Amino acid sequence: EAAVTQSPRNKVTVTGGNVTLSCRQTNSHNYMYWYRQDTGHGLRLIHYSYGAGNLQIGDVPDGYKATRTTQEDFFLLLELASPSQTSLYFCASRDQDTQYFGPGTRLLVL
């Protein structure tokens, strides 16, 4: 079973704050993803990557940057956090067929 971990699990920041969410997977999967989950929207794709140094834009990228530093590590950056970015954030990695999700990070932007 793939192991995907996220940190922090909970984060509170203020409007305009700088936040970095971290994701690590230990199964050498090529693809990694960042999603946000909001009531009424399901999960929406922010950014994804198919390897170290690669970044692909997802469906709701505005206000987010991401960086894939290694095969294992994928970071989501909010450089000027806004209340609209209050959400539950999931990271996932993918083998050939299946996406495996981390436990999620709850972010509150005041």
Partner 1 sequence: GDQVEQSPSALSLHEGTDSALRCNFTTTMRSVQWFRQNSRGSLISLFYLASGTKENGRLKSAFDSKERRYSTLHIRDAQLEDSGTYFCAAGSGGSNYKLTFGKGTLLTVTP
* Binding footprint of partner 1 on the chain (CB under 8 A): 31, 33, 35, 40-45, 48, 50, 56, 58-59, 88, 90, 94, 97-101, 103-104, 106
Is the CB of 41 or the CB of 110 nearer to partner 1?
A: 41
Strand partners, 21: 76
Is the CB of 20 or the CB of 37 nearer to partner 1?
A: 37
* Per-residue CA distances from 42 to 39, 46, 47, 89, 92 (Å): 7, 13, 16, 11, 15
Does residue 59 contact residue 50 with C-beta atoms inside 8 Å? no
Is the CB of 85 or the CB of 93 nearer to partner 1?
A: 93
